C-alpha cells in the first residue's frame, strides 16, 4: 500500500492550495457551461484527461478546507490515513448490510464503536452503528425512542398515539424539524424550550412545557440535549437533563455531533459530564475526528429497542449469522451500506488516542485565542463563560464591519499565525 505516495500527494496539494484563494468565485452557469461543453457521455473519454479536468474543477471551484487561513465551518481537512481508508473501501467495496458478506469490515466497525462507546461511559451491551452523518443518527434516535415509548408505533404508526412531543431549544440542530416531518410526528411536535443567557437549555422552561403538554393531553417522550450547539458551541446542562428525564420517564438524546470528540481529552471531557446517562448519543467522525464525509455515529444504551425499531426478515437476505454477530441492516436505518468506519479506525490506529488528544486540545487553545482576539477587537460577544472549548464556542459574531456579512472572522495576525501552526501539527479545521 502506497501510504507514502498518498501522503506526499496530499502534502503537495495542500502546499499548492495554501497559496491560492480559499473561496471560489464562480457562478452555476460557468460550471454548467464547462460540463455541457465536454460531457455529453456519447463516447468514451481518456480517463487521465477526465481525471485531470475533474481535479482542476475541484481545485478551482471548491472552498479549500486545507487552506491555512480557512477558519470556518465544520468541514475538516482530513488525515492521510483516512484518505487511504476511503481508497481501500472503494477498492474492496464491502457490503455492510449483513455480517456474513463483510466479516472483517463489520468487526473493525464494531471494535471502533465499542471503544468510543466506552469512552462515553455507555454499558458494554450498548448498540452502536455508523451513519451517513449526524442527521441520520438523530433520526435513528427519534425512531428508537418512539419505538420504546410507544410499543404500537412500529406496527400502527402514530394513528392511535396521543400526539408525542420532543423538546429542543432554538440552538438545537434543525435536523429535528425535518425528522419530525419524516417520521410523521409533524413539525408541530417539536417544542422549542427557552435558553439561558449562555444559550443552554432553560430547565425551568423545560419542566413547565412538559407539565403543560401533559396537562393538555400530549405525550412528551424525548428531550434533546446538545453538547456543542451548531452556531455557538453551547453545551446543555446534561447531568440536570439526565435527572429530569429519569424522573419524568423521558428519553434523553445527546446530540454531540461535533462536540463528542472532546470525550477523548482529559482536559475537555468534563464539559461533557452527564453524557454517560444518555439513552442515545449522536457523534460525527466527519467533524472533529477529521475524517472524510460521511461518517456519523449513533450510540444507544437500549440495544433491544434498536433491534425492535429496525428489525427486518426477508427470504432474499442471508439468514442471521450464528453467535454474537449483528447484521447491520437489522439494527440501523440503512440497508446496503458503505464501510464507513474504516476511516475512523485507520486514523485512530495511526495517530493513537494521544495524537487525537493533542490535536483536540491544541484546537481548544486556538478557540481560546480566537475568543480573546474577537473580544479584544470588540467583534464578538462571549455568550458562555467556558474557556478551553473549541473555536467559536460562546462567540456570537457581530458580522464583518467591512462588508456587513456574517460571520466575521478575526483579522488577527496572531490567530492566523497560530492557525497556520495548528495546520502543520494537526489536520483539522473545526469551527462553526
Ligand atoms: C449539533 C449538530 N447536530 C447534527 C448535525 C447534522 O450533522 P450532519 O451534517 O453530519 O448530518 C450538525 C451539523 O452541523 C450539528 O452541528
pLDDT tens, position by position, 333-358: 999 999 999 999 999 999 999 999 99
**Contact assessment for residue 57 and residue 34, using Cβ atoms and an 8 Å cutoff:** yes
Distance 257 CA to ligand 1 centre (A): 5
- Going by the DSSP 8-state scheme, the letter that residue 227 receives in this structure is B
Distance 135 CA to ligand 1 centre (A): 6
> What pLDDT is recorded for position 371?
81
Probe ligand 1: pick from 73, 135, 290, max atoms within 8 Å of CB?
A: 135
User: How would you write 146-212 as a 3-class SS string?
Assistant: HHHHCCCHHHHCCCCCCCEEEEEECCCCCHHHHHHHHCCCCHHHEEEECECCCCCECHHHHHHHHHH
> What pLDDT is recorded for position 271?
95
Is the beta carbon of 225 within 6 A of some atom in ligand 1?
no
Is the beta carbon of 258 within 6 A of some atom in ligand 1?
yes
Q: Where are the domains of the chain?
A: 3-87, 88-344, 355-426
pLDDT tens, position by position, 3-22: 788 878 888 888 899 999 99
Strand partners, 222: 166, 251
pLDDT score of 254 more than 50: yes
> What pLDDT is recorded for position 298?
98
> What pLDDT is recorded for position 381?
56
Q: Could you give the C-alpha distances from 422 to 25, 53, 71, 328, in angstroms and in order?
A: 27, 31, 11, 37
pLDDT more than 70, % of the chain: 87
Probe ligand 1: pick from 231, 257, 286, max atoms within 8 Å of CB?
A: 257
Is the beta carbon of 132 within 6 A of some atom in ligand 1?
no
Q: Where residue 1 falls among pLDDT bands split at 50, 70, 90? A: low
> What pLDDT is recorded for position 431?
31
Report strand pairing: 219-226 vs 164-169.
Answer: parallel
Q: Which three cell numbers, joined as nine digits, stand for 131?
A: 451513519
The closest alpha carbon to 128, from 230, 323, 260, 318, belongs to: 260
Assigned CATH topology for domain 88-344: 3.40.640
Amino acid at each position: 500500500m502506497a501510504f507514502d505516495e498518498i501522503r506526499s500527494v496530499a502534502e503537495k496539494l495542500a502546499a499548492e492550495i495554501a497559496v491560492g484563494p480559499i473561496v471560489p468565485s464562480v457562478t452555476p452557469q460557468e460550471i454548467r457551461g464547462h460540463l455541457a461543453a465536454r460531457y455529453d457521455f456519447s463516447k468514451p473519454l481518456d480517463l487521465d484527461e477526465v481525471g485531470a479536468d475533474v481535479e482542476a474543477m475541484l481545485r478551482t471551484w471548491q472552498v479549500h478546507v486545507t487552506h491555512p487561513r480557512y477558519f470556518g465551518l465544520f468541514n475538516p481537512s482530513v488525515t492521510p490515513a483516512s484518505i487511504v481508508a476511503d481508497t481501500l473501501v472503494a477498492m474492496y467495496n464491502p457490503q455492510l448490510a449483513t455480517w456474513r458478506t463483510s466479516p472483517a469490515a463489520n468487526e473493525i466497525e464494531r471494535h471502533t464503536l465499542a471503544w468510543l462507546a466506552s469512552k462515553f461511559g455507555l454499558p458494554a451491551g450498548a448498540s452502536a452503528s455508523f451513519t451517513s452523518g449526524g442527521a441520520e443518527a438523530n433520526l435513528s434516535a427519534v425512531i428508537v425512542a418512539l419505538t420504546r415509548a410507544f410499543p404500537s408505533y412500529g406496527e400502527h404508526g402514530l394513528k392511535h398515539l396521543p400526539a408525542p412531543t420532543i423538546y429542543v431549544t432554538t440552538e438545537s440542530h434543525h435536523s429535528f424539524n425535518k425528522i419530525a416531518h419524516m417520521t410523521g410526528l409533524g413539525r408541530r411536535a417539536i417544542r422549542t424550550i427557552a435558553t439561558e443567557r449562555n444559550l443552554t437549555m432553560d430547565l425551568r422552561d423545560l419542566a413547565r412545557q412538559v407539565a403543560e403538554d401533559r396537562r393538555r393531553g400530549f405525550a412528551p417522550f424525548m428531550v434533546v440535549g446538545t453538547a456543542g450547539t451548531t452556531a455557538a458551541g453551547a453545551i446543555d446542562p446534561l447531568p440536570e437533563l439526565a435527572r429530569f428525564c429519569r424522573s419524568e420517564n423521558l428519553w434523553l438524546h445527546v446530540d454531540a455531533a461535533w462536540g463528542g470528540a472532546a470525550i477523548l481529552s482529559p482536559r475537555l471531557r468534563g464539559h461533557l459530564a452527564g453524557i454517560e446517562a444518555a439513552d442515545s448519543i449522536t457523534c460525527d467522525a466527519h467533524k472533529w475526528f477529521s475524517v472524510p464525509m460521511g461518517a456519523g455515529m449513533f450510540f444507544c444504551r437500549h440495544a433491544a429497542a434498536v433491534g425492535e425499531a429496525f428489525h427486518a426478515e426477508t427470504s432474499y437476505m442471508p439468514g442471521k449469522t450464528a453467535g454474537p454477530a449483528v447484521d447491520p441492516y437489522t439494527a440501523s436505518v440503512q440497508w446496503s451500506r458503505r464501510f464507513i468506519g474504516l476511516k475512523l479506525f485507520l486514523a485512530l490506529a495511526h495517530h493513537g488516542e494521544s495524537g487525537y488528544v493533542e490535536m483536540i486540545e491544541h484546537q481548544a487553545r486556538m478557540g481560546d485565542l480566537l475568543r480573546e482576539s474577537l473580544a479584544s477587537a470588540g467583534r464578538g460577544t462571549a455568550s458562555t463563560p467556558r474557556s478551553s472549548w473549541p473555536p467559536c464556542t460562546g462567540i456570537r459574531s457581530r458580522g464583518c464591519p467591512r462588508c456587513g456579512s456574517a460571520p466575521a472572522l478575526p483579522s488577527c495576525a496572531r490567530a492566523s499565525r497560530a492557525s497556520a501552526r495548528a495546520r502543520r501539527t494537526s489536520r483539522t479545521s473545526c469551527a462553526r
